[in-house]
Structure 1
Amino acid sequence: MDKKKKFARLRALNRQRNYLMKSLRLHIARLILDHRTKREFAISDRKSVLFLRDDDKIGDMVVSTSLFREFKRAGYVVDVLAGKNNAKIIEFNPYVNKYYVVEKDNKHKLEQAKALAKNNYDVVIDMGDKISPFHLLLLKKLDARNVVGFNKAGFNIYNKSLDYLGYSSHVTERYQLLMESFDFISFSTDYDIHVPDSVRSEIHDFMSAIAAPYKVVINPYAADPRRDMSLTQLKALIEKIKREWDQVEIILVGDPARISQLTHLDAVINPYHTLTSACEIVRLADMVISPDTAIVHIAAAWKKPLVSLYGNDLHGEYVNSRVWGPGYDAARQLYTIDKHHPVSSIEVDDIILTMKELSVLCCCRTQ
């Protein structure tokens, strides 16, 4: 056996061992922490709910906003356990009664869960797919009357488990299933972002001061480097947009620390460092271009004309580009050749062609 094959075999054995150890720890935790039998599912007259969105993913929080609105409209008091960053999406959301930012370390998380248990929630809705011994302990500490999750039928602490294996279906179908399980009849899965009037006024003045009547917002960066646009790709895209259309200005949004390094490009750098400001800039844009990241879902909240750049990858068994795609008619997706190619491999000419198909800027075309 050559060295490469031997190394690959050792890695495979190590992965198998780690999987078995995780399974064993979860089995032991289940014996200790899980309920012996499933409890009856029953909601009190108070109808209070805590959503667990503590993964701190901004895009996931945007997608979840439809649930907060529809549960509130159905008479529920809606609280959310959020992360430090994704809490900013619901900071001004009128449908959320309270949001709590999850503590950093496990000891304080459990203390926080014990404190939240005093709210006597009718139901905790676990938005995630994975479960761990610590997660079981967290749910135990929250001590809600009911716990709802997806694909958790093997755990009695969940007295409502929704079977959902939509590996290539948009995530809104999962949330539709959730609302139907609560007997909601008339509801919408549209996203719901709220920006305070002071920010709207400030961004309106900023956008109005840009002389070009048409604004294209580009977000070049994502959390995963493989989803980032390259500097070469971004520079070429900006130059081709300016050659193809007149009366167009480019506005770059994203991580302030990263886009502040792009002042040499022929584009306006978003000078505001808040997430709500970026949301409002997207709302006022004529078109948005972004790799697979939160800006895609923020654009979807207002059904903005969108060119989104996706890799051919999976999240577990879920087809990422379908489950977490923009999911509306005014959006287009461009894909890498395969999972081994980064988003920076997508051709600039293909992005330009897709922009033309959307035809939002046709009235200012120079050619």
Structure 2
Amino acid sequence: MKDLKLFMRSFKFKRSKLDLSKIKKITIQSCKNGLGDAIIISGLPKILKKHGYHITILTLESNALIFKENPNIDEIICVGRTLSSSQIKKLKSLECDLFIDPNNKTSYSDWVFKMIRYIKPHHTLGMNYPKFFRIYDSIIDYKEYRSHISKRFIYILNKLNINLSEDQYHYDIYYPNEYDIEIKKFLSHLQNKLICIFNPFASSEKRSFSNNQIEKIIKICSTTPNLFTIIVGDMNKISSIPETKNVSVNKLEHFFYTVALIKYCDLVISVDTSIVHLANAYNKPLISVYSSEVDSINPKYENNYVYKPNYNNGIQIIAPGKTAKNLDIKVFNEQFVNLLNSIKSED
């Protein structure tokens, strides 16, 4: 019944043909839940803008901060899962030559289809949808089950005759300078120490460290000479973690403070992929811990690969038993020591 309703929502009498000469204004659908997804997609507007396109981002209000300062984005439209009358009016007034949806069929496809029907773009581009969902004029058959998610954007760009290799795709983060100024001031008394950013909690319990693991990692960090560790994450979760002489809990709640801390740190430890992607954006030495999750709609897509760090400075540890809580801290410590030695040798 869900697929039948989706089919009804997607129906259009005639598909349009992709004519690149008629495409000037592009809308990118970026309405997935997490900030990590927004960080990954942030590299696309810069490339498209360079080729002369007008760029509109369609996003959730909670993710809009990733895009608001980006000079390569001409317009941002924030939408909710229940579309308000003002949001519907905004969608109906949007001029769109090409609507790009970089995601597979998901639980919110019906909602995306509604927005497309309000926008009425001249051409729509989707990924992996069966052809009977007629809402998409062009469909990219993407079966890179073990490739990083950024590979999707290479396929999309190729469709627009923009040739780019995967290693040329970079995240593109902008935010107000005031956060840099405050973090530089905060870190100024630690100039003789390496700064480590530690993110112990993810959005799900299975991807988060246990209290015992956090205690052991803090002990390792606090006893490492010339290292100062700052714990970041959801304040409701990290506020109860005890501080030590060389370990503090970040009390600056805005996400951009965390971005700035990562920008100016020396190494990152994280179980959360949004922090992993930020470490990638600033090419920071990283130890990340993954928990072998798969895509809920299509389990052929393995998240260990799809959302991996994807850069040379990023170390990925796969926890056994599909949860970070099963990671032996000895395994972490071995990688941690190796990473510190590597950083010190570069200095």
State the TM-score, normalized to the length of structure 2. 0.90
Which 10-residue stretch deviates more, 266-275 or 279-288?
266-275
Summarize deviations over 1:239-296 as a string: whole Å, max 9, x none.
12233x2010110111122222224455211121111111110111111000142101
Cα distance in 1 for partners of 2:241, 2:33 equals 27
Asked if 1:184 is matched to 2:165, the reply is no
SS in 2 for 1:314: coil
SS in 1 for 2:239: helix
Summarize deviations over 1:312-339 as a string: whole Å, max 9, x none.
2211321101011110111111112133
The corresponding residue for 2:328 is: 347
Q: 236, 253, 265: which is aligned to 1:257?
A: 236
The question of whether the paired residues in 2 share the 8 Å contact of 1:305 and 1:360 is answered with no
SS in 2 for 1:338: helix
Identical counterparts, % of pairs: 25
The corresponding residue for 1:120 is: 95
Cα distance in 2 for partners of 1:229, 1:265 equals 19
In the TM superposition, residue 195 of structure 1 has moved relative to its aligned partner by 2.8
The corresponding residue for 1:16 is: none
- Over 3 Å counting, the alpha-carbon distance change for 1:256 and 1:52 in structure 2 is same
- Over 3 Å counting, the alpha-carbon distance change for 1:63 and 1:48 in structure 2 is same
In the TM superposition, residue 138 of structure 1 has moved relative to its aligned partner by 2.2
Letter in structure 1 aligned against 2:173: I
The corresponding residue for 1:79 is: 56
Which 10-residue stretch deviates more, 166-175 or 254-263?
254-263
The question of whether the paired residues in 2 share the 8 Å contact of 1:233 and 1:344 is answered with yes
Cα distance in 2 for partners of 1:265, 1:142 equals 54
The corresponding residue for 1:3 is: none
SS in 2 for 1:332: strand
**4+ residue runs of structure 1 moved beyond 6 angstroms?**
none
Map 1:39-78 → 2, pairs under 5 A: 39-43=16-20, 47-78=24-55
SS in 2 for 1:249: strand
The question of whether the paired residues in 1 share the 8 Å contact of 2:195 and 2:230 is answered with yes
Q: 277, 281, 287: which is aligned to 1:301?
A: 281
Map 1:1-367 → 2, pairs under 5 A: 21-27=1-7, 29-30=8-9, 33-43=10-20, 47-106=24-83, 108=84, 112-130=87-105, 132-154=109-131, 155-185=133-163, 188-210=168-190, 212-243=192-223, 245-264=224-243, 267-315=247-295, 316-317=298-299, 318-339=301-322, 342-358=323-339, 359-362=341-344
SS in 1 for 2:321: coil
Cα distance in 2 for partners of 1:253, 1:134 equals 33
The question of whether the paired residues in 1 share the 8 Å contact of 2:26 and 2:55 is answered with yes
Larger radius of gyration: 1
Cα distance in 1 for partners of 2:345, 2:110 equals 58
SS in 2 for 1:100: strand
Q: Note the aligned Cα RMSD (angstroms).
A: 2.1
Gapped runs of 5+ residues in structure 2? Answer: none
In the TM superposition, residue 75 of structure 1 has moved relative to its aligned partner by 0.8
The question of whether the paired residues in 2 share the 8 Å contact of 1:356 and 1:362 is answered with no
Cα distance in 2 for partners of 1:44, 1:211 equals 54
In the TM superposition, residue 221 of structure 1 has moved relative to its aligned partner by 0.9
Letter in structure 1 aligned against 2:87: Q
Cα distance in 2 for partners of 1:353, 1:283 equals 25
Cα distance in 1 for partners of 2:114, 2:59 equals 18
The question of whether the paired residues in 1 share the 8 Å contact of 2:269 and 2:288 is answered with yes
Summarize deviations over 1:204-237 as a string: whole Å, max 9, x none.
1111223651011001111111111112111111
Cα distance in 1 for partners of 2:150, 2:82 equals 31
State the TM-score, normalized to the length of structure 1. 0.85
The question of whether the paired residues in 1 share the 8 Å contact of 2:70 and 2:174 is answered with yes
In the TM superposition, residue 43 of structure 1 has moved relative to its aligned partner by 4.4
Letter in structure 2 aligned against 1:247: N
Letter in structure 1 aligned against 2:230: I
Gapped runs of 5+ residues in structure 1? Answer: 1-20
- Over 3 Å counting, the alpha-carbon distance change for 1:233 and 1:52 in structure 2 is same
In the TM superposition, residue 41 of structure 1 has moved relative to its aligned partner by 1.6
Cα distance in 1 for partners of 2:164, 2:320 equals 40
